Amino acid sequence: MTAQTTILKARWLLPMSPGSQVLNDHALVIQGERIAAILPWAAAAQQFPDAATVELGEHVLIPGLINAHTHSAMSLLRGVADDVPLMDWLNNHIWPLEKKWVSEDWTYQGSLLSAAEALRGGVTYLNDMYFFPTAMARAALDSGVRAGVSINVIDFPTGYAANAAEYISKGLEAYEQYKGEKLLDWTSAPHAPYTVSDETFVQLRDLALKLDIQMHCHIHETQFEVDESVKQHGMRPLERLNKLGLLNERMMAVHMVHLNEAEIAMLAKQGVHVVHNPNSNMKLASGVCPVTALEAAGVNTVLGTDGAASNNRQDMFGEIRAAALLAKGVTQNSTTVSARTALEMATIRAAKAMGRGDDLGSLEVGKLADVVAVSLDALECRPVYNPEAQLVYVAGREHVSDVWVGGKQVLKNRVLTQVDQAAVLDRIEAIVAQMKAQR
Ligand SMILES: [Zn+2]
C-alpha cells in the first residue's frame, strides 16, 4: 500500500535550508509522514495525478516553528503575577503555587492548553521543561504537537518529587513508558545552577550520554545568579558547569543573558547551543542576551518563549520579531539579526540544537513534513515585496491557517483537528476557579 499523497499549493514557499530562497508558485508534496517533493505547481500535478490537493492561495509555506524553551503547564499561571523581579516572582508567587497545585492532571491540562496555543501559532515543536513528564507526553500525543519532554530535576522537594533521586527515577520511568513515540524527544534537564547540586549535575550529564539525548538548563539568567555563584562556589555558573563537563554540543543553555567575552569564545569552541528568550528576559528585567556577539563568535543561537507565567504570550512570531528588533536596538546596528537569521533561529538552527537537524527545521525532500501555512492575504499583510521579511516584521501567529506535523494535518483553517478547544477551556476554567477560591 502506498502512503497517502497530498499536494500543498501556495503562492510562496520558504524552505529555510542553507542558502535557499523564497520559491514562487511551488508545491510541497507530502507522502506519509515525509516531504516527497518540492516543485512547480504544474509539475506537481503531472507527477502526482492521484494526490489530494490543498489550494492555499496567497499563503507562504514555512517549516514548523520550534519553541526551544518553555514550561507548558505554566499556561495555568498565565498572568498570576506580573511586573515583579525574578526572585520575588519565583519565591513568593510561582514556587508556592506550584508546590500547592502541581499534579499529573494539573500539568496535563496546562500542557494541553499550551500545545493547542502552539499549533494555532505555527509552532510544531515544544521543548518543555517541567514536572510530571508523562503529562507533557500525553498532551503532545493527544494534540499532535512534537515535544522535547524533560527528565527534570530541581534539588528541593515539590509536589512531584522529594529529592534528586526521585526526580530522576520518575523521569526515567516516563522515558521508558514513552520512548518509542515518534512525536517525542527527551532531554536531561537540570533546572539551573542555583537549584541543582554538583552531584546531580554529574548524574544528569551521565544520563544524557547514556540515553544519547540533549541537555536543557537555565544558565546565567540574572546578574544575581552570577553574583551568588561567585559567593557560594567561588566561580561563575558557566565555569562551574564547564568544570563538571556539561558544556558541549548536547547542552541547550537557556537565557545566557550575562556573558563575558571569554565565555562567549568558550561556548563557540565547545558547541553549546544558546536559547534566547527575548520577551521573558525583558519582562522579568533580566537583561538582554548578547545575540550579536554570540553570532559573531559562531554560537548556534535559537529562540524560546519561556513559560506563560513569565512571558504571557507563547508566541514564536513574537519572539522572532523581538529577537530581530532587540539586537538592532541594543547594538545600534540595523544589519544584525536579519529577518532571515531570526527565522533560522526558530527553525533550522533550533532543529540542530535539539539534535534533530536531519529530520526537522527546513522544508527539504526526505525530511518530516512539519509544515505551516501562513496567510499573507489579510489587508494588514499587504502589499508583499519580500515574503521572508513579511513573516518577521508584519505577519503574526493569527495569520497561521493550517499546520501539518509528520504529514498529519493538526490545524485546519485555524481549527485544531485533534483537540476539542471548548472542552479544554472548560477544564481550564474549572481548575483556575478552584485555585482562585483557595488563594
Ligand atoms: Zn524557563
Distances (CA, A) of 303 to 14, 215, 396: 19, 16, 16
Cα of 56 from ligand 1 centre, angstroms: 36
β-bridge partners, 395:
none
Query: For residues 417 and 410, what is the distance between their CA atoms, to the nearest angstrom?
Result: 5
Q: What is the mean pLDDT of the chain?
A: 97
Amino acid making up residue 317: F
Ordered structural domains, the chain, with CATH: 5-63+361-406 (2.30.40.10), 65-353 (3.20.20.140)
Q: What confidence tens digit (pLDDT) does each residue in 305-341 have?
A: 999 999 999 999 999 999 999 999 999 999 999 999 9
β-bridge partners, 180:
none
User: What is the distance, to the nearest Å, from the Cα of residue 159 to the centroid of all Cα atoms in its chain?
Assistant: 25
Backbone angles phi, psi at 301, to 5 degrees: -110, 130
**Does the structure show a pLDDT above 80 at 207?**
yes
Cα of 192 from ligand 1 centre, angstroms: 9
User: What is the distance, to the nearest Å, from the Cα of residue 117 to the centroid of all Cα atoms in its chain?
Assistant: 12
Per-residue confidence (pLDDT) for residue 167, from 0 to 100: 98
Give the pLDDT band of residue 439 (cuts 50, 70, 90). Answer: confident
Per-residue confidence (pLDDT) for residue 312, from 0 to 100: 95
The runs of H, that is alpha helices, within 246-288 are 261-270, 278-283
Cα of 94 from ligand 1 centre, angstroms: 12
Give the pLDDT band of residue 126 (cuts 50, 70, 90). Answer: very high
Query: For residues 216 and 256, what is the distance between their CA atoms, to the nearest angstrom?
Result: 12
Query: For residues 181 and 183, what is the distance between their CA atoms, to the nearest angstrom?
Result: 6
Per-residue confidence (pLDDT) for residue 1, from 0 to 100: 44
Section 248-263 average pLDDT: 98
The sign of the dihedral angle between the CA atoms of 229, 231, 233, 239 is: positive
Cα of 128 from ligand 1 centre, angstroms: 9
Query: For residues 203 and 200, what is the distance between their CA atoms, to the nearest angstrom?
Result: 5
List CB-based neighbours of ion ligand 1 within 5 Å: 306
pTM for the whole structure: 0.98
Cis ω for the linkage preceding 383 (within 30 of 0) = yes
